[in-house]
Chains A and B, each alone.
Chain A
Amino acid sequence: MPDLWSRLNSSLSKTRTALIERFQTLLPRDGRMKEETWEELEEILLTADVGPTVTEDLIQTIKAERVSSLDDIRTALAARLEEIMRAELPRVPTHFTPPLVILVVGVNGVGKTTSIAKLARKFRQDGQRVILAACDTFRAAAVEQLSVWANRVGAELIAHQEGSDPAAVAYDAVQAAIARRAGVLILDTAGRLQTKTNLMQELLKIRRVLGKARPDLPQETLLVLDATTGQNALSQTRLFQEAVPLTGIILAKLDGTAKGGIAVAIQKELGVPIKWLGTGEGFDDLESFEAGAFVSALLTEKE
């Protein structure tokens, strides 16, 4: 796993540097935790977008453990975070009848299409025949964008004209995937804000079309979240989950200065597992999520 570690380390190094600096100033001089210490800890968690509710909860938990040193805090915090994040599921369903159908959803501009390209690339490297379906028939040039990516990663593309029914694209795509004996079908959908009921209904319709083609489809419905998103990511996850049952989350754009701490709140409050991390702009920059690595990279000093 050294590869994963180094990548995670580099993408999260900014966070860690900040954390270490802060933690060092937290060292209790008289052996006891001062109120400031807790305030600092609170700041670290809040500025990482963990959110006020979960932050408060984490601090109370650690306080209750009667920690007396910096190391204790760090250990306790890491343990609690890992416990929250550890609801790990297999990245990809282990038992399924091909094709593996992955429906990808999310709000506007989170990085759905890029994440799909990265996923497709992974399956292509695995020797799979991959079909991409351009179900974003709304945004101008969305089909062209996906088509460029399909060419780059060597996947086939199923697309209709702009403005056509996304469910019809999904239907054609799933038929094609079955007929051509493709290994994987990934459906790109239009970005939509989670409060737009009619657009959420559209997702349900796409899902229904897939289910009609074969009842076990789609095996995966992944929500793409932007790591820079704040507390609204909870609302996104909740409302998408209500519309189409999610099997996991892709946390994109972790290569910036954003900490993606909202993932902790999502896992804790909604229990939707993070499966993949987008760690860069290159199409190999997609990492599988590991709770231990994620938390360690967040809290441990660089070796």
Chain B
Amino acid sequence: MLESLADKIQAALKRLRTKGKLSEADIKAALRQVRLALLEADVNFRVVKNFIGQVQEKAVGQEVLSSLTPAQQVVKIVQEELISLLGGGTSQLERSQDALNIYMIVGLQGAGKTTTAAKLARLLAKEGRRPLLVAADIYRPAAIEQLQILGEKIQTPVFAMGKQNPVAISRAAAEKARREGYDTVLIDTAGRLHIDDDMMTELIEIKAAVQPTETLLVLDALTGQDAVNAAGEFEAKLGLTGCILTKLDGDARGGAALSVRAVTGVPIKLIGVGESIEALQTFHPERLATRILGMGDVLTLIEKAQETIDADKARDLEQRLRRAEFTLDDFKEQLEEVRKLGPVDQLLGHLPGFGKIKKMPGLKIDEQELVKVGAIISSMTKEERLSPGIIDRRRKQRIAKGSGTTVQDINRLLRQFTDMKKMLKQFKRLEKKGQVPPLWGPLPY
């Protein structure tokens, strides 16, 4: 699990007093950590270099705001700079009300063009548009069939002309759309290498033939340093109006997006966050900035939580947490609620305060472990769950048998549970003194 950048910077600046100005040496120590985090996140080497230079310039000599520690101050500057580098705000898809909108979808092989085309068609159809999908990938075996199947799933017509020239296919599709009253055309082109001149020429010809509203590059969020080469070539040869970042539902930091935005200036408009056809969202620079830095992303978590967590259960749990009447049943329930939200390490990463908790030995929460934990707690009697103190060696052996785990697993779970209770008590104590914000504070369930 990645340590949060905020913690690393904290460590780098721990000897600094809380008041005064940020000196060059302080900043350097902190920025070394930032640099590493950005490189680990696959941000392009040169982009990192420029970025660090800029931040350093901005940060040196700044007054440390009374509300912030020096570390927080640096993080704040870094984050603001990242957000501005990522384009500042959200960038909407160009769409005209009266004219036909044509979106041309391009990219390297395996970036996720076909899936993205279908997702985008569904999104636009939901807004009341009439999209037509166009199968212009005549090279990859069964690419046309793939788009047809996806089209059927989202009840969107797919225009295909077999393996004819993609330029002709695109032109014919646009004509058909005009004739038959479609207002949106999505052209799914074949994946290609940016250095393949023949294939790039094909794209240039399609673009010239249909004059698309937008030329969108689909970019894999897992891409490394090469992202700038690929995106740069597509931009130079074809001209892009936007970028769609895919596969952000995994644990990739998505630094490629930053590189591409910084090097080409092409805005990121949408992100793909899952295999289901609904999983396409508007891009928010501030959220990706926090993700690249490995810092909390409370906004996304709140949104996810609002979608997924049962509000009543959450309120009930919050009250129990506050009273520190936390039982193993609650523990299990909480884990299950959390699991609905997605990969746990990522989720905990959304919560700024959880950076430290993740590192507490004995409180390591890992996705695979959760299944085990659930099984163990399910194998306990009601009594045992309410007062785990009574669980002796024989009971442990029974529970281990019942849950297909070992006594060691059970010991570990009980230890984690005790730690968590202890921590909750601490929180309660501090809260009384008014030293920490409420644990679940502003979550608007």
Name A residues whose Cβ lies closer than 8 Å to a Cβ of B.
Answer: 14, 43, 46-49, 51-52, 107-111, 138-142, 144-145, 147-149, 162, 193-197, 226, 228-233, 235-236, 242, 253, 255-259, 262
Apart from A48-B225, A262-B224, what 5 extra A-B contacts exist at CB < 8 Å?
A193-B251, A256-B194, A256-B195, A257-B230, A258-B226
Q: Across the two chains, which residue of chain A brings its CB closest to B224?
A: A230
Docked complex: B54-93 residues within 8 A CB-CB of A: none
A-B contact pairs, 27 of them (CB 8 A): A46-B45, A51-B40, A52-B39, A108-B275, A109-B220, A111-B109, A139-B146, A140-B149, A141-B145, A142-B142, A145-B140, A145-B141, A148-B142, A193-B249, A194-B251, A195-B343, A197-B371, A228-B226, A229-B220, A230-B223, A230-B227, A230-B255, A230-B256, A231-B40, A256-B230, A259-B226, A262-B224
Chain B residues with a Cβ closer than 8 Å to the other chain, count: 49
CB neighbours of A256 from chain B (8 A): 108, 193-195, 226, 229-230
Chain A residues touching B, majority SS: loop
Q: Which of B39, B153, B250 contacts A195 (CB 8 A)?
A: B250
Distance in Å: Cβ of A168 to nearest Cβ of chain B: 21
CB–CB B110/A108 < 8 A: yes
Task: Report the 4 A-B pairs with minimum CB-CB distance, sorted nearest first.
Answer: A230-B224, A109-B110, A230-B42, A148-B141
CB neighbours of B220 from chain A (8 A): 109, 226, 228-229
CB neighbours of A262 from chain B (8 A): 224
CB–CB B195/A257 < 8 A: yes
CB neighbours of B343 from chain A (8 A): 195-197
Bound complex: CA of A256 vs CA of B233, how far in Å? 12
CB–CB A52/B40 < 8 A: yes
Distance in Å: Cβ of A215 to nearest Cβ of chain B: 22
Distance in Å: Cβ of B297 to nearest Cβ of chain A: 16
CB neighbours of B12 from chain A (8 A): none
Q: Is B247 an interface residue (CB 8 A)?
A: yes
Distance in Å: Cβ of A142 to nearest Cβ of chain B: 8
Q: Which of A108, A138, A162 contacts B112 (CB 8 A)?
A: A108
CB neighbours of B97 from chain A (8 A): none
Bound complex: CA of A142 vs CA of B146, how far in Å? 7
Q: Which residue, B226, B247, B249, has most C-beta atoms of chain A within 10 A?
A: B226
CB neighbours of A139 from chain B (8 A): 146
CB–CB A257/B250 < 8 A: no
CB neighbours of B251 from chain A (8 A): 193-195, 232, 235
Q: Which residue, B140, B150, B371, has most C-beta atoms of chain A within 10 A?
A: B140
Distance in Å: Cβ of A280 to nearest Cβ of chain B: 10
CB–CB A144/B142 < 8 A: yes
CB–CB A231/B42 < 8 A: yes
CB–CB A141/B146 < 8 A: yes
Bound complex: CA of A51 vs CA of B226, how far in Å? 13
Distance in Å: Cβ of A113 to nearest Cβ of chain B: 8
Proximity string of chain B (8-36) to chain A, C-beta cutoff 8 Å, 1 when within and 0 when not: 00000000000000000000000000001
CB–CB A110/B110 < 8 A: yes
CB–CB B112/A109 < 8 A: yes
Q: Across the two chains, which residue of chain B brings its CB closest to A228?
A: B226
